[in-house]
Amino acid sequence: MTFGNDKQAITHRERLVVIGNGMAGCRAVEEILARDPGRYAIAIFGAEPRVNYNRIMLSPVLAGEKAFDDIVINSAEWYAQNGIELIAGDPVEQIDRATQTVIARSGRVEPYDRLLIATGSDPFIIPVPGRKLPGVVTFRDLDDVDRMLAAAEKGGSAVVIGGGLLGLEAAHGLSLRGMAVTVIHLMPTLMERQLDEAAGWLLKAELERRGQTILTGADTAEIIGKDGPDGECVAGVRLKDGREIAADIVVMAVGIRPATALAKAAGLDVERGIMVDDHMITSDPAIMAVGECVQHRGTCYGLVAPLWDMCRALAGHATGAPSGYTGSVTSTKLKVSGIDLFSAGDFSGGEGAEDIVMRDAARGAYKRVIVRDGKLVGAVLYGDTADGSWYFDLLRKGEDVSAIRDALIFGQAFASGGALADPNAAVAALSDDAEICGCNGVSKATVVATIRQGACSLDAVRSQCKASASCGSCTGLVESLLRLTLGDEIEAGPKTLCKCTSFSHDDVRRLILEKELKAIPQVLQELHWSTADGCSSCRPALNYYLLCAWPGEYEDDQQSRFVNERLHANIQKDGTYSVVPRMWGGITSPQELRAIADVVEKYDAPMVKVTGGQRLDIFGIRKEDLPAVWADLNAAGMVSGHAYGKSLRTVKTCVGSEWCRFGTQDSTGLGVKIERMTWGSWMPHKFKIAVSGCPRNCAEATIKDFGVVCVDSGYELHVGGNGGIKVRATDLLCKVATEEEALEVCAAFVQLYREQAHYLERTAPWIERVGLAAVKAGLFDDPGAVRRLAARFRHSQQFMQDDPWARRAAGEDAELHRHLAEVRPMEFAQ
Ligand SMILES: Cc1cc2nc3c(=O)[nH]c(=O)nc-3n(C[C@H](O)[C@H](O)[C@H](O)COP(=O)(O)OP(=O)(O)OC[C@H]3O[C@@H](n4cnc5c(N)ncnc54)[C@H](O)[C@@H]3O)c2cc1C
Ligand code: SF4
């Protein structure tokens, strides 16, 4: 099968023949073309009968998250446009260095001036009896995926031998395809080359929770066969301890070996891999090699990131501008939806190494960084990988981290003293050569240059420099770079929930209910998300939509919340926190004031401020003091004021008829009742309420999301006000005669907003989008609507009104850990 150029063109220029149409071979050609497009007549031989694709995305293809077309890197048009002849499905079987020719399986003989070997790796097959039985497969190319999919279609069970990155991604895919999966791993913990024992244990627990059987310390003795309709086939695996596990398919994913057979037979220097120098030249100056098949300075790599640097060095040499490759530091991410895992560098410890560990087993989060001689040498993150790029950048640069050593474990925002709590600022602080997209080897400088050259949307960046075009885990970083580089000129995409899906917010909310989707991974899977784990835009939205749809059933995913919501406090510019206890309706007591004063003195808080919502905000609390501050405030009967959340903030009141001579109703009393009814409820955005005792409106009820203005004959209920950047006065919703009716309509309106607004949409833009008439119709057209909406709100509130501070008072420490997230004190282990 050939695509592209005709033989004629190949004979006129220097002939470059590439063996291996994979990730390294094609990237090397791309780099050469970018430097000197006319220099070579290029022919590429590929053993696989197809164009070049992103091999690392085979896992999402197996899991059903991507189709083959989505993962093609170089289409047939690319070969044609660049005058490249692709000879696909015809492996090279011999290199004749004397005649400078290669001979393919078809008998085709191709002369070369320069030869590039990019044959990748061969999967390692453990030499046990039964390894050749039909039904035993490896995981290296699309044909392997097709074999696994064919087995999964029939159902049954699968055994995956190997609990490393490949094995676990194969197990995840087969499990999502409906097979009962057992993973057999020789070592005591999973992914032991990338993860330490603690993270390996967390990973195992999570996979078991998802229904996989994980056998560690398990040594395969034999693959057992049975008679099938077409002869003998696989029946299962026998372990050395005698256990037998039945299987309809056995996937061998125990490792890879550089594919060196051709080079060895041609007499090139080969050890574990094909020996190359810093310009990727083999022991024959006319032959270069690149990718997983090479050994450079004693190292063979099994990940894509080193390939990009190797290919740049190779192209420099091949086009007469040599630069040189000195080796790579690598990092790993596991592409299993819902499992955030990052590992980089050396975590073996050793002499002089200092471990800094933070763990939160209840929340399933674990972080470990290793410092040696003042430099970061390794990082293992499980459960929260947001700082992976930052750690990796520090590690690659070998920067001195002594000055930020104590804050290092808390990540970039903390280490910068809070100045980088904003994710945009954190991305701005990354160096130009920091790697943004690991799948495609794209640096920050390249993304920024692409944006400056006119790529004004995520899609444009994806198509022009490939950043975020593969696994999607760097989408948040690319979005931040777009915001930083373009400000307001950023082009809004179509009105989809985010770039990971073509569904709108409304579609997603509807489908969550229709399909009874009750977990984020299930939504991503069932609604065919384009990314394995979603992104920083969709995960918080999905978490909210699921909480709203399934109160009491869906378990809040703390990892999908914004940082202030995870910390239950507002981080300030200097890295300290502000704490706002709730004061119902703005009323306080000597006991509460005393408790607040005691906290201020005891924890040396530099400022207490009355907020616009009539609460007391205690500033300058150190993160390590937060739990104790909360406990002290709790002891005085106070709960969290949720001053940080997409939730009810405050109910502001005036003194009303009890004290004011103009007052028409008990506005403070009603405000207290409303706050007790609505506190703790998660909403699409922050929500503010006020109650004024007469139309003089001292509580400013007409710029709140829900405002009550008391009048002689009852209560005017107002909605959709906003006092922020864009001030908007409320619309009058209705007038009611009694307090009970006011409470009922308030509950119904809040629930309508919760059920219908898009995540991060305040009531003002929501009402402007759908129209006041639609909101009124939703509440009043059907006489039972208010009652039903209010009932749904009250039902949901049973599960929402749990104060994280009160949990501590009740001694539920495990729960507290979930809520405290990163603010738990550090645990140092030497
Ligand atoms: C399922 C899977 C998931 C992965 N996930 C990740 C990940 O998340 N992160 C990461 O960094 N890396 C990952 N990798 C590893 C990554 O894919 C490799 O590092 C990368 O593909 C190596 O590129 P390469 O060009 O050296 O080899 P390949 O991409 O394998 O290309 C080699 C090509 O050469 C062809 N070939 C071999 N011999 C001949 C011959 N004699 N004649 C003609 N053609 C020949 C092969 O058929 C193949 O197409 C994953 C790999 C797999 C299989
Ligand atoms: S709003 Fe009316 S009732 Fe309330 S304090 Fe002001 S004047 Fe008095």
Which of the ligands is closest to the CA of residue 258? 1
For a pocket test of ligand 2, which of 587, 659, 660, 691 has the largest count of ligand atoms closer than 8 A to its C-beta? 660
Q: Which residues of 490-519 are buried (b: 16+ CB within 10 A; e: fewer)?
A: beeeeebbbbbbebebeebbebbeeeebeb
Cβ contacts of 315-321, under 8 Å, gap ≥ 24: 315/28, 315/31, 315/32, 315/34, 315/35, 316/35, 316/279, 317/279, 317/280, 317/281, 317/288, 318/16, 318/32, 318/39, 318/40, 318/114, 318/288, 319/32, 319/35, 319/36, 319/39, 320/36, 321/35
Give nearest CA residue, ligand 2 atom 6: 698
Q: Name which of 590, 586, 570 is nearest 578 in CA terms.
A: 570
pLDDT at 491: 52
Q: What is the pTM of this model?
A: 0.61
Three-state secondary structure call for residue 250? strand
Q: What is the spatial distance between Cα 252 and Cα 271, in angstroms, rounded to a whole number? A: 24
Give per-residue pLDDT as tens, 710-753. 999 999 999 999 987 678 999 999 999 999 999 999 999 999 99
Q: Please state which of the ranges 123-127, 324-328, 472-476, 489-493 shows the lowest mean pLDDT.
A: 489-493
> In the predicted model, what is the mean pLDDT of residues 151-155?
90
Structural tokens at position 674: 């409303």
The rounded distance, in Å, linking the Cα atoms of 95 and 101 is 6
Distance 610 CA to ligand 2 centre (A): 20
Q: Which residues pair with 45 in a beta bridge?
A: 19, 87
Cα(700) to ligand 2 centroid in Å equals: 10
Percent of the chain at pLDDT above 90?
Answer: 55
> How does DSSP assign 352-407, residue by residue?
TEEEEEEEEGGGTEEEEEEEETTEEEEEEEES--TTHHHHHHHHHHT-B-GGGTTT
| 36 pLDDT above the threshold of 50 | yes
Range name among 178-182, 302-306, 671-675, 681-685 with the lowest pLDDT average:
302-306
Phi, psi torsion values for 619, nearest 5 degrees: -100, 160
> Which of the 8 DSSP states describes residue 409?
G
- Tokens 């063109």 found at: 9
Indicate the SS3 state at residue 527: coil
Q: If you ran DSSP here, which 8-state letter would residue 290 be given?
A: -
* Nearest bound ligand to the CA of residue 343: 1
**Range scoring the smallest mean pLDDT among 342-351, 357-366, 737-746:** 357-366
Query: Relative to the alpha carbon of 691, which ligand is closest?
Result: 2
- Both tokens of residue 379? 């990082």
* Distances from the Cα of 493 to the Cα of 67, 104, 503, 505, 530, angstroms: 23, 47, 12, 13, 15
The tokens describing 583, both together, are 């004061």
**Ligand 1 mean position to 55 CA, how many Å?**
6
pLDDT at position 568 over 80: no
Positive or negative, the CA dihedral 170, 172, 177, 178 is: positive
Would the pLDDT of 530 be above 90? no
Atom of ligand 1 nearest to the CA of 292: 26
How many angstroms separate the alpha carbon of residue 305 from the centre of ligand 1?
Answer: 12
- Ligand 1 pocket test, pick from 30, 304, 337 with the greatest ligand atom count within 8 Å of Cβ, gives 304
Using CA positions, which residue lies closest to atom 5 of ligand 1? 56
Using a 6 Å CB cutoff, which residues line ligand 2? 654-656, 660, 662-663, 667, 692-694, 696-698
Distance CA 678, CA 669 (A): 14
What is the per-residue pLDDT for 827? 22
Ligand nearest to the Cα of 660, by number: 2
pLDDT above 50 for 825: no
Asked if residue 408 lies in contact with residue 369, where contact means CB atoms within 8 angstroms, the answer is yes
> What ligand is nearest to the CA atom of residue 253?
1
The percent of the chain in helix, strand and coil, each rounded to the nearest 5, is: 35, 25, 40
DSSP 515: T
How much is the average pLDDT of 382-390? 81
Mean pLDDT of the chain: 87
Instruction: Give mean pLDDT, residues 530-559.
Output: 88
Instruction: Note the ligand closest to the C-alpha atom of 88.
Output: 1
What is the CA(772)–ligand 2 centre distance, in A? 27
- For residue 305, the ligand 1 atom closest to its alpha carbon is 11
pLDDT surpasses 50 at 818: no
Tell me whether strands 249-252 and 157-161 are parallel, antiparallel or unpaired. Answer: parallel
Beta bridge partners of 122: 257
Which residue lies with its CA nearest to atom 38 of ligand 1? 119
Please provide the distance, in angstroms rounded to a whole number, between the alpha carbons at the two ends of the chain.
Answer: 59
Looking from the CA of residue 656, the nearest atom of ligand 2 is 3
Structure token pair of residue 741: 């009716």
Report which bound ligand comes closest to the CA of 256: 1
Distance of CA 591 from the midpoint of ligand 1 (Å): 68
At 349 the pLDDT is 64
Give the pLDDT score at 405.
81
Q: What is the pLDDT of residue 419?
A: 46
Give residue 817's pLDDT: 44
Pairing of strands 231-239, 244-246: antiparallel
- The rounded Å distance from CA 19 to ligand 2 centre is 84
Tell me, in angstroms, the distance from the centre of ligand 2 to residue 790's CA. Answer: 28
**3-state SS string over 141-191?**
CHHHHHHHHHHHHCCCEEEEECCCHHHHHHHHHHHHCCCEEEEECCCCCCC
Nearest-atom number in ligand 2 for the CA of 664 is 3
Of 670, 698, 702, the one to substitute when testing ligand 2's pocket (max ligand atoms within 8 A of C-beta) is 698
Structure token digits, residue 160: 């995956």
Is residue 7's pLDDT more than 80? Answer: no
Cα of 93 from ligand 1 centre, angstroms:
18
Rounded Cα distance, 166 and 162, in Å? 8
User: Which of 667, 668, 691 is the best mutation target for the ligand 2 pocket, counting ligand atoms within 8 Å of the beta carbon and taking the most?
Assistant: 667
Q: How does DSSP classify residue 336?
A: -
Mean pLDDT of 760-775: 91
The ligand 1 atom nearest the CA atom of 333: 8
> Is 822's pLDDT higher than 50?
no
705 Cα to the center of ligand 2, angstroms: 19
Nearest by Cα to 342 from 396, 304, 378, 372: 378
Averaged over 338-353, what is the pLDDT? 78
Q: Give 136 Cα–ligand 1 centroid separation in angstroms.
A: 20
Q: Is 10 helix (H, G, I), strand (E, B) or coil?
A: helix
Instruction: Give the residue, out of 73, 119, 276, with the most ligand 1 atoms within 8 A of its beta carbon, to mutate for a pocket test.
Output: 119
C-alpha 667 to ligand 2 mean position (Å): 9
Confidence class for position 333, pLDDT limits 50, 70, 90: confident
Backbone angles phi, psi at 35, to 5 degrees: -90, -40
Contact between 148 and 180 under an 8 Å Cβ cutoff? The reply is no
Judged against a pLDDT cut of 50, whether residue 813 lies above it is answered with no
Please indicate whether residue 456 or residue 394 has the higher confidence score (pLDDT): 394
Q: Which of 68-72, 346-350, 361-365, 369-373 has the lowest mean pLDDT?
A: 361-365
**Any idea which ligand is nearest the CA of 110?**
1
Which ligand lies nearest the alpha carbon of 342?
1
Cα(448)–Cα(437) distance, integer angstroms: 13
The CB density around residue 226, as the number of other CB atoms within 10 Å, is 12
**How far is the centre of ligand 1, averaged over its atoms, from the C-alpha of 22 (Å)?**
6
| Rounded-to-10 torsion of CA 212, 217, 218, 219 | 150
R_g of the chain computed on alpha carbons: 31
Tell me which ligand sits closest to the C-alpha of residue 139: 1
- Separation between Cα atoms, residue 658 and residue 651, nearest integer Å: 18
What is the maximal distance between C-alpha atoms in the chain? 107
- Residue range 359-384: mean pLDDT, rounded: 81
**CA angle at residue 802 from 608 to 506, to 5 degrees?**
100
Does the pLDDT of residue 585 top 90, yes or no?
yes
Q: Report pLDDT for 326.
A: 92
Gap from CA of 121 to ligand 1 centroid (Å): 6
CB-based contacts of 405, cutoff 8 Å, min separation 6: 356, 371, 374
Spell out a b/e string for 240-268, using b for 16 or more CB atoms within 10 Å of the CB, else e: eeeeebebbbbbbbbbbbbbbebbeebeb
User: From CA 337, how far away is CA 697, in angstroms rounded?
Assistant: 51
According to DSSP, residue 826 is labeled P
Distance CA 697, CA 690 (A): 9
In this prediction, residues 92-99 reach a mean pLDDT of 98
Residue list, ligand 1 pocket, CB within 6 Å? 19-25, 45-48, 55-56, 58-59, 91-92, 118-120, 139-140, 166, 169, 259, 262, 291-293, 302-305, 307, 335
Question: Which atom from ligand 2 is nearest to the alpha carbon of 657?
Answer: 3
Q: Write out pLDDT tens, residues 397-450.
A: 888 888 888 778 877 766 665 544 455 666 777 778 877 887 788 888 999 998
Q: Give the number of the atom of ligand 2 that is nearest the alpha carbon of residue 697.
A: 1
Q: Which comes out higher in pLDDT, residue 335 or 6? A: 335
Q: Quick check: 39 and 13 in contact, CB under 8 A?
A: yes
Calpha distance 26→233 (Å, rounded)? 37
* Measured CA distances, 732 to 481, 663, 711, 787 (Å): 42, 20, 13, 20
List, in sequence order, every residue forming a beta bridge with 345; answer none if it has no partner: 378
Which residue owns the Cα nearest ligand 2 atom 5? 654
Average pLDDT for 114-127: 96
Ligand 1, atom 27, residue with closest C-alpha: 120
Counting ligand 2 atoms within 8 A of each CB, the residue from 655, 696, 700, 702 with the most, and so the one to mutate, is 696
Of 23-37, 137-151, 329-343, 765-779, the one with minimum mean pLDDT is 329-343
Secondary structure class of 514 (helix, strand, coil): helix
Measuring from atom 11 of ligand 1, which residue has the nearest CA? 303
Does residue 695 carry a pLDDT above 80? yes
Whether 182 and 212 have beta carbons less than 8 Å apart is answered as yes
pLDDT at residue 824, as a whole number: 29
56, 86, 307, 314: residue to mutate for ligand 1 pocket, most atoms within 8 A of CB: 56
For helices 813-820 and 626-635, the axis angle rounded to 10 degrees is: 120
Ligand 1: distance of its center to the CA of 291 in Å? 8
- Angle 168-171-175 from CA coordinates, rounded to 5°: 140
Confidence at residue 416, expressed as pLDDT on a 0 to 100 scale = 61
Summarised one tens digit per residue, pLDDT across range 211-255 is 999 999 999 999 999 998 888 899 999 999 999 999 999 999 999
User: What is the enclosing helix (H) or strand (E) of 17?
Assistant: strand 14-19
Among the listed residues 517, 792, 810, the one whose alpha carbon sits nearest the alpha carbon of residue 681: 792
CA of 658 to the centre of ligand 2 (A): 10
CA distance 250 to 237: 8
Kindly state the tokens that stand for 767.
């009402």
- Give the residue whose CA is nearest to atom 31 of ligand 1: 22
Name the residue at shortest CA distance from atom 14 of ligand 1: 56
CA-closest residue to ligand 1 atom 8 = 56
Token pair recorded at residue 689: 């309420």
* Ligand 1 atom closest to Cα of residue 25: 25
User: What is the torsion angle, in degrees rounded to the nearest 10, for the CA atoms of residue 550, residue 553, residue 558 and residue 559?
Assistant: -80
Residue pLDDT, tens place only, 592-644: 999 999 999 999 999 999 998 999 999 998 887 888 898 899 888 898 888 88
Closest approach atom of ligand 1 to CA 22: 31
Rounded to whole angstroms, the Cα distance separating 546 from 339 reads: 19
